[in-house]
Structure 1
């Protein structure tokens, strides 16, 4: 089986040969790979005490006693737990499937650890098992259960390069909206190094923009430099604050509602403000919009309502479900799969991403909703792509494939 063969390789890294090279220098900071190299030497005595000390510092001493989240570096994963007086080695086990990883005792200390490489795109719910009993960790206040893990290889275009010009990301003054009256929001504008005042740039909007600041500029830098996407300004914008409407939070009001309100907010407030300092193209093929979860359905709604202004959509784990149920209880985004089939095809290009372990709650089933969206898009012969993996309700898969998603979204772009 896939997991068994992977585990044999991973455990070989842990157990190694008795005659392996000496441990890494003590001052070296730990990584999953560095921990694997240390464990392979089967440290004893002071070396084991030193490694246990470093593990407590790396994971957090109190956290280590409770059972801590693993450290992840690409596909390499490191687990550790401290179990005073335990005679049987604890394990990491998956709630579904065959994954079971015994942890290795660090010398004669109470600390146990192990590292293992996982397949690209692997996802699982996992827990520590001590003396045959699962450790129920507190994940959130009043919530106990198993943790989620998904791992992806790091895309080369997600890594900064010294030979690539760097764009500039600037936080803007808090925006007080009139369309969403009484709300204020943080937002940022990224301008690529290749931008010139005499050449209007393409534009791409990201909902929940604060979460994209760490990685979008680097990917844009690399793809613009390679010519895989045009010179593009990124607008990273958060939802407004405030209590919201109809019992929903402001983010849900802005993102989940099926109306032209958010598109008007962008077209009448945000884009004109950006254009006070940066020139943007106005043709719809030069405009893209993206988001995750409710931000994903928001991106689709903007293009659906205004395909004359936005024609490129990138949605991660999109909430095409009945969140904005309205007065009738059935006015939410779950209607899109039928609306697409019953409406004349619109000139929208859309990249969808979701995972089989996404949410399933009283608003709907996210994996099913995204599959239905993809089927409807196919039925109406839309220009679409659907990346469906094993992931949970997170941005991890979408982030891992962002460079290739953007290549697909902007392919064949020509200024008109």
Structure 2
């Protein structure tokens, strides 16, 4: 038994040393390993998922698919929290990197976050346009700094969800989540509507490609602090990581620094990966726990 314990300790030290070794410039992609919270568990019942299509007035001519995932055991008579995920199916897909529905099932079942449903919203598409690049409205919606996406969520998506579910009115129970352009979209939505979305997760946010540049380091500094709790994740090898301009890594650092200096309840998580969702998927369970760490779960 002592020998086995010593061997396991040696293996743990070797793994830790490998995990934290400096990366050389020619290293390939970093791959993080998902934990048990990101896989279906035999003792956790699978939640239910429904979907609907939405024709938008806020973004004329676009339609989008919305999925609503309800973890098993959520009391339909009790007001429930809401986590809105941009890039809907990418974040819901149980075989993808993020696996948002699986994570919600596990955490809600174990009482590690309050009862919360997931609303997974795809970016808009122009259904009659054949060219794939011209068909999607994703960057126009996600990279803009205005309030149109917040209006789409609150004026068009949420009313449809409320027809089916009783939602909490407490902004600390509402989160908005996204990655890449969806990450700066998540921050933008909460920035314009902090009275509704009090919690934010941005994975590898594409602040660097917002039209006119990243506005948030200056906006955060000169605007009275909003009631937001924000988790940002950045990758050392994100796009333009060693470039003087259009540097995704640097713009996430600037936004995180502005939040810290302004006294926000904010956290920055750094990884060694590039511009891919792997680290975000591994991080999501702990990110959700952190967002709702002080909410009592009955």
TM superposition score normalised by structure 1: 0.61
Matches within 5 A, 1:232-271: 232-242=116-126, 250-271=137-158
Q: Deviations over 1:213-261 (max 9, x none)?
A: 2211111111111211111110111100137xxx996111111111111
Counterpart position of 2:19 = 119
Does the 8 Å contact 1:123/1:149 carry over to 2?
A: no
1:318 and 2:205 aligned: yes
**Whole-Å Cα distance in 1 between the matches of residues 135 and 182 of structure 2?**
15
* SS across alignment from 1:152: coil
Matches within 5 A, 1:139-178: 148-170=28-50, 172-178=51-57
Distance of aligned partners of 1:276 and 1:248 in 2 relative to their CA distance in 1, 3 Å threshold? closer
Q: Deviations over 1:243-300 (max 9, x none)?
A: 7xxx996111111111111111011110100111111112211100000011000100
* SS across alignment from 2:29: strand
Does the 8 Å contact 1:206/1:234 carry over to 2?
A: yes
Does the 8 Å contact 2:34/2:281 carry over to 1?
A: no
Q: CA deviation at 1:363?
A: 6.8
**Whole-Å Cα distance in 1 between the matches of residues 190 and 136 of structure 2?**
23
Does the 8 Å contact 1:122/1:152 carry over to 2?
A: no
Distance of aligned partners of 1:185 and 1:122 in 2 relative to their CA distance in 1, 3 Å threshold? farther
Distance of aligned partners of 1:192 and 1:363 in 2 relative to their CA distance in 1, 3 Å threshold? farther
User: Structure 1 segments of 4 or more deviating over 4 A?
Assistant: 120-127
* Number of residue pairs matched by the alignment: 271
Q: Deviations over 1:377-399 (max 9, x none)?
A: 11001001100111101111111
CA RMSD between the two structures? 2.6
Q: Deviations over 1:170-227 (max 9, x none)?
A: 2x23211111111011221101112222101100000001111221111111111121
Matches within 5 A, 1:15-414: 119=19, 148-170=28-50, 172-213=51-92, 214=94, 215-242=99-126, 250-321=137-208, 323-325=209-211, 330=212, 332=213, 334-360=214-240, 364-414=246-296
Distance of aligned partners of 1:238 and 1:123 in 2 relative to their CA distance in 1, 3 Å threshold? farther
* SS across alignment from 1:190: strand
**Whole-Å Cα distance in 1 between the matches of residues 70 and 21 of structure 2?**
32
- Which structure has the highest strand share of the two? 1
Distance of aligned partners of 1:319 and 1:195 in 2 relative to their CA distance in 1, 3 Å threshold? same
| Structure 1 unaligned spans of 5+ | 1-74, 76-117, 128-147
- Which structure has the highest helix share of the two? 2
Q: CA deviation at 1:165?
A: 2.2
Distance of aligned partners of 1:186 and 1:340 in 2 relative to their CA distance in 1, 3 Å threshold? same
**Whole-Å Cα distance in 2 between the matches of residues 296 and 391 of structure 1?**
16
